[in-house]
Each structure stands twice: as structure tokens, then as C-alpha cells.
Amino acid sequence: MVVMNGEPHTEHPTDPQGAQYAGGPGPGGSAFPRPEKVDPITGLDLVAWFFAQTQKDHSFYPLHKSTITFFNVMNFKTINQRFSYQGGNAYLCKFRDELKRLFEGETVLRAGADHLVVISLNLSPEEIAMRVAMLNKVMGNYEGGLRNQIKAGIYIADGTPQKPIIMMDRASLACREVHGIFNKDYCVYDDALKNKHEQKQYVLDHFDEAFEKGYFHVYYQPVVRALTGKVCGYEALARWIDPVKGIIPPFIFIDVLEKVHLIHKLDAYIIEQACKDLRDDIDSGYAYEPISVNLSRLDFELSDVNKVVNDAVAKYDIPKEYLVLEVTESAIASDLTSLGDHIKEFRDEGYQVWIDDFGSGYSSFNNLQTYDFDFLKIDMNFLRNFDKTPKSKVIIASIVDMAKKLGIHTLAEGVETKEQYEFLKSIGCELIQGYYFSKPIPLEDYQNKRAELCSFETNESPEERTYFDCIGEVNFLDNAPLRKHHLEVTSDIPLAILERTERNYTGLYTNKAFMTVINSFGANTIEDVVRILRRENTQETMDKIFEHLLWAEKSNEIVEYSMPLNENKINCKARFVGHMGNKFAYMFVVRNITLRDKETTPSKNRLQF
Ligand code: C2E
Ligand code: CA
Ligand code: CA
């Protein structure tokens, strides 16, 4: 049996309070398991006892036609830490009550720790899913619950005799599928999952052999400059090419290698391979581009990853700016306190560090605040909804806008269509990676077509890189794009919110730019503006302004008017925003359109014709 982290690989969680699934030696030291019947905390029957009992009295046949739902409380540890064990126990009892209520008439059991199990005979997966959602709603409001999510895995027995413990294992495996996924609270065990787990088991049994026999290979996926369409880099992605199973993709083996604490071995291999391939590229006389490699969170814990990178770079004499380090969101989200030091050390030495899969985890924004990155790779899931909802575009554009304001370059991955490419280019996303250009392909494919794939016509030169990196800093989405990158939060559009009660006007909000405009004609507040307007205009003009506002309200359209004010001329655009009783709110954008004409002394930066 393969040993993972010093423990036999089993999906059975054990109860810290002593309850176990399969039952250890029973009281009195009998050689045969004699599991306890009742869990002292929740008063529920224990799964181990229940399964043993059904086998003993042959009442397990209905089990083969039942559905097993395995529940797991996320971050239960934090409840115990915050509210002590008594608080944790109270939470479990509430959880039990809700399950009994929602699954009335079905069997509710405790499987140990924070795992409860429901064995149902009459519910479809959809009906169970509905109950899981209701459970989360109730438990989300439980005051001692810290909004913990409860995840569920569902296994539907197909009628063939099977060991109950295997059935529950499958429900528990399905549950694990949704552990880190914020917007999913259940998963049904199906053939795809079965396949995946068989593949994972294969990985567990064969990874030593794969390392020894050199089954790991590097595939390279090109990264393209949006503005020019030229290749400006490659991402190195690991592939396991197995003589029996064919190509095993990373999503199968990365997880397993992380679990068995061998991922650093793979990553060191990929880093070395990338440097070796880059050296061949440099020596070939064709164009060569930076290569990025993926670093796992565990690389930082299990190895001196800075040394691993430096050694490989030194061995193949690679300029440091040609090896890029991608650190995934999950890596950054872990509790690793020294990660910031590692990132800083890499950057100080001249490497670029990129944040990968931005937006996929819980703490994307915290990470941007805490660490310094050169590039932000937008998680490809945002593009998966590109055609389904316009929200996707807004979110992607906001990420690009924010990144530029923070002085970070942007790359979008998972680009599959021309429309996606055009959109990303239009919002100023600098680099693009995805099947639209190329899937990851083996090095031999590049070598076979070197003249075509690696020429200076298709690939970026170092001079072009420096040049387009500067151009990439321009924020097409900024309302003041001419301003140089800064960290000041401000808008150059003079904006105010005005509240009208009958014919009285008060200011609710004014921004800095608005104040600059009204200051220019001697007003310090919105009330000042109204006073000046009244003083300088006839009642007829004031009525006109009032009518404009009424029209804005009625039509829900933007109204525009210009008027003289203190020897100035101002242009005003307004939109009705909302009302409460006799209070009506309008949003205003104003411009002093006389200001430019009046200016007599030319500014040193302004060319006069
Ligand atoms: P990643 O770093 O986000 O890599 C991008 C993944 O998206 C790659 O999958 C790539 O093949 C895929 N991809 C690229 N363009 C498209 C597209 O247009 N559409 C779609 N649907 N997918 C696209 P891959 O190679 O299977 O890698 C999966 C993940 O495994 C990687 O995600 C990375 O997190 C991890 N990984 C891969 N190689 C390594 C490695 O050497 N070390 C470590 N630690 N992780 C690795
Ligand atoms: Ca990556
Ligand atoms: Ca990624």
C-alpha cells in the first residue's frame, strides 16, 4: 500500500474523539472489531456500528439500492478554536437536528469528526441537492457557525452488492471534489469521477517508476503580445507520457504529487528542463523568448526553491529575466509566512514573478496588497462565461484597469476565440495565451518547424519587448489616460450629486474635480452655485433649469444645458438618480467651457498656435 504523509492512503477520516468508521478492537480487547453503537456527542448511531449491524443481521440489502450522502463541515477547526469544544459540539448537534428535519424518515449517522452521513431510500439526487442548499442556508445563519459551508458528496448505489464502506468512501470522495470550490456545495459520484480516481490511484502506484524512467516531459504553450500578434514567451507545462496510459494531464498528477510531498522534485526537473531547452534556443540562432515555470506552494516548504532556480540558471547560463516564475493563487493563499521573502528575493535577483490564476481563490486581492508581482494572469474561468454573460467582460476589464493602476502587467489565459482576443486587445490586456493561438506542444514540434515558428517575423525581439512593455503600461480604460501611473484614487470628471426639495437645492456629494470647476467662478459649495445662479439669472431662466430637471426625471435621459455664470460659461449634464418622498436626487457633470478661452498665459507644456 502506498503511504501518504506517513499514513496509509485511505479516504476514511477518523474522529479525534475516538469514533472510527470500521471499528478498532472492541472493549475487552477482542480481536474482532466491535464498534460502539452510539456517538456520545450527537446521540446518533455510528456508521461503523450501523454497517457492521446490517451485515450481521443481513439487513443491508436495501443499502444496495440506497443513496449515501456524506457531509463535511468546512473549516470546522476554526469553530472549535473560536468557541471551544463545547461550541463545536453544539454546532454538531444543530447540524444533526437540521439533517433530521430535512431528511425526515431517512437514516442519519455520524461518521466521525465533522462528518455526518444520510442513507436515503426515496430521494433523488436533485431532491438531496435541494436539501443541501437548505441546510447551508440554515447553518450559514447559525451564530456559532462563522458562516462555515457544509459540503456533500452523493453516491447512488446501483443495486449490485457492494461493501457499505466502499459506498461511503465514494460519497466521501465526491464530497472532496467540491471542498475548495466556493460556489458548489455538492457533487454526485459518477463514471468521470470514478475514472479520475482510478487514474489518481495509478499515479500513486507508478510515480516512482515515472521519475526513474523519464516519463515526465515539458510541453510549451506560446504567449502572444495582443498588440502585435507576435510570440513573446512560453509557459512550460508538465506532461506524464506513460507507456500504458498515454498522456496523463497535470490535473491528475499534480494533486497527488503534492499530497505525497514530491511536487518539488517534479518542479525542479521542469525548471532544469526549461533552462536546458532555453540554452538550446539561444544557441540556435533563432529568436528565443522567456519561459515561465509553475511553482507549487509546497516547493517553498519542501525545497530551497530560490537555490534550485539559481542553480539551474547558472548551469545553463540563462539570463535571469528569461526564466519567469508563476506562483498560483492557492500557493499564495496558504499560511506560508516566508513566501513574501522568497518572492522579494526572486525579484531582487532579476527574475519576474507572476501571480497565476488571479481571481480563482479567496484571497486574490489580499495577495495583491501583500506581495509585489510583475504580471497578473487572469484566471481562465472568467473567459469561460464570455458568451453567456456580459458580466464577464466587466470583471475582466476591471481587473486589467486595477492591475494597470497598481503598475502590474496583465495576461489573459484560456483565450479560445477571435472575439475574446479582440476584446482583450481593446481593453489593453497585454499578453494572451490560449488555444486560439496554440495548445501546449512538445519541444520537438517547435524544432521541426523552427524556421516557421521561431523566426524574428513571428517572434518578438528583446528591443520590441522593452518597447511594448512601456506601451503596455498605458491604461486604455482610465478616464485620465494621459496621467502617468499613480496610486492616487481620483476621477478627473467633475461630478456632483444634487438633491432637490421643491425648488430648493442642496449638495449631497461633490468630487475634487467638481470643486475645481466651481472654485473657478468663485463658488465653494453647491449652495453657493445656486445663490450665484439666482442672483445672475431671471426667474425665467431658473424655471427653465427646473423644467430640465423635471424632464430628466420623466425621460430617464441625460439633459444638457449651458449657461452664463459669473462671467463664465458652464456646461452642465444631468441625470435623474432616484427619489424619496419629495426629495429628488440628480447626478451632475459640469465643465467650465470659458476657462480655456480666458487663459492668457500659456502653460509651459502647452503648445500655442
Ligand atoms: P495553469 O498554470 O493555469 O496552466 C494553464 C492550463 O490551461 C494548462 O493546462 C493549459 O494546457 C490550459 N490551457 C491553455 N490554454 C487553454 C485554452 O484556451 N482553453 C482551455 N480550456 N485550457 C487552456 P495543463 O497543462 O493541463 O495544466 C494544468 C495546471 O497544472 C496548470 O494550470 C498548473 O497549475 C499545473 N501545472 C502544469 N505543469 C506544472 C508544473 O510543472 N508544476 C506545477 N507545480 N504545476 C503544473
Ligand atoms: Ca501557470
Ligand atoms: Ca493559470
CA of 221 to the centre of ligand 1 (A): 9
pLDDT of residue 223: 98
Closest protein CA for atom 35 of ligand 1: 250
Residue 498 has pLDDT above 90, yes or no: yes
Q: What is the pLDDT of residues 168-180, one digit of tens each?
A: 999 999 999 998 7
CA of 191 to the centre of ligand 3 (A): 27
CA of 511 to the centre of ligand 3 (A): 39
The predicted model scores a pTM of: 0.80
Looking at every residue in the chain, the average pLDDT score rounds to: 87
Q: How far apart are CA 133 and CA 153, in angstroms?
A: 13
pLDDT band at 569 (very low <50, low <70, confident <90, very high): confident
pLDDT band at 329 (very low <50, low <70, confident <90, very high): confident
Nearest atom in ligand 1 to the alpha carbon of residue 218 is 41
Closest protein CA for atom 33 of ligand 1: 294
Q: Assess whether the C-beta atom of 47 lies below 6 angstroms from ligand 1.
A: no
SS3 108: strand
pLDDT of residue 575: 96
pLDDT band at 609 (very low <50, low <70, confident <90, very high): low
Q: Assess whether the C-beta atom of 270 lies below 6 angstroms from ligand 1.
A: yes
Ligand nearest to the CA of 440: 1
Nearest atom in ligand 1 to the alpha carbon of residue 250 is 30
Q: Assess whether the C-beta atom of 440 lies below 6 angstroms from ligand 1.
A: yes
Would you call 102 exposed, middle or buried from its count of C-beta atoms within 10 A (0-12, 13-18, 19+)? middle
Residue 237 has pLDDT above 90, yes or no: yes
Closest protein CA for atom 46 of ligand 1: 294
Average pLDDT over residues 39-59: 84
Residue 10 has pLDDT above 60, yes or no: no
Q: Assess whether the C-beta atom of 592 lies below 6 angstroms from ligand 1.
A: no
Q: What is the pLDDT of residues 360-407, one digit of tens each?
A: 877 788 889 989 999 999 999 999 999 999 999 999 999 999 999 999
Could you tell me what percent of the chain has a pLDDT over 90? 63
**Domain boundaries of the chain, sorted by first residue:** 45-189, 200-471, 495-598
3-state helix, strand and coil shares in percent for the chain, rounded to the nearest 5: 45, 25, 35
SS3 109: strand
Average pLDDT over residues 206-225: 96
Backbone angles phi, psi at 282, to 5 degrees: -60, -40
Mutate to test the pocket of ligand 1, among 216, 237, 298 (most ligand atoms within 8 A of CB): 237
Per mean pLDDT, which range of 234-243, 464-473, 567-576 is the poorest?
567-576
Q: Assess whether the C-beta atom of 294 lies below 6 angstroms from ligand 1.
A: yes
Could you tell me what percent of the chain has a pLDDT over 70? 89
Q: Report which secondary-structure segment, H or E, holds 27.
A: none
pLDDT of residue 192: 92
SS3 596: helix
91 contact partners, CB below 8 Å, separation of at least 6 = 73, 76, 79, 83, 142, 144, 145
Would you call 564 exposed, middle or buried from its count of C-beta atoms within 10 A (0-12, 13-18, 19+)? middle
Ligand nearest to the CA of 326: 2
Q: Assess whether the C-beta atom of 438 lies below 6 angstroms from ligand 1.
A: no
Q: What is the pLDDT of residues 518-529, one digit of tens each?
A: 998 889 999 999
Q: Report which secondary-structure segment, H or E, holds 46.
A: strand 45-46
582 contact partners, CB below 8 Å, separation of at least 6 = 501, 502
Nearest atom in ligand 1 to the alpha carbon of residue 238 is 38
Q: Assess whether the C-beta atom of 434 lies below 6 angstroms from ligand 1.
A: yes
Residue 314 has pLDDT above 90, yes or no: yes
pLDDT band at 76 (very low <50, low <70, confident <90, very high): confident
Mutate to test the pocket of ligand 1, among 224, 294, 305 (most ligand atoms within 8 A of CB): 294
Residue 15 has pLDDT above 70, yes or no: no
Average pLDDT over residues 523-540: 89
CATH for 200-471 (3.90.180.10, 3.20.20.450, 2.40.30.110, 3.50.80.10): 3.20.20.450
CA of 220 to the centre of ligand 2 (A): 11
489 or 332: which leads in pLDDT: 489
Task: Concatenate the DSSP letters of all residues of 443-454 into one string.
Answer: HHHHHHTHHHHS
Nearest atom in ligand 1 to the alpha carbon of residue 413 is 15
pLDDT of residue 13: 39
Ligand nearest to the CA of 251: 1
Kindly report the CATH number that applies to the domain delimited by 45-189: 3.30.70.270
CA of 412 to the centre of ligand 3 (A): 9
Kindly report the CATH number that applies to the domain delimited by 495-598: 3.30.450.20
Beta strands in 470-609 (DSSP E): 495-501, 504-510, 559-565, 568-580, 583-592
Residue 598 has pLDDT above 80, yes or no: no
Residue 477 has pLDDT above 80, yes or no: yes
Q: How far apart are CA 378 and CA 432, in angstroms?
A: 10
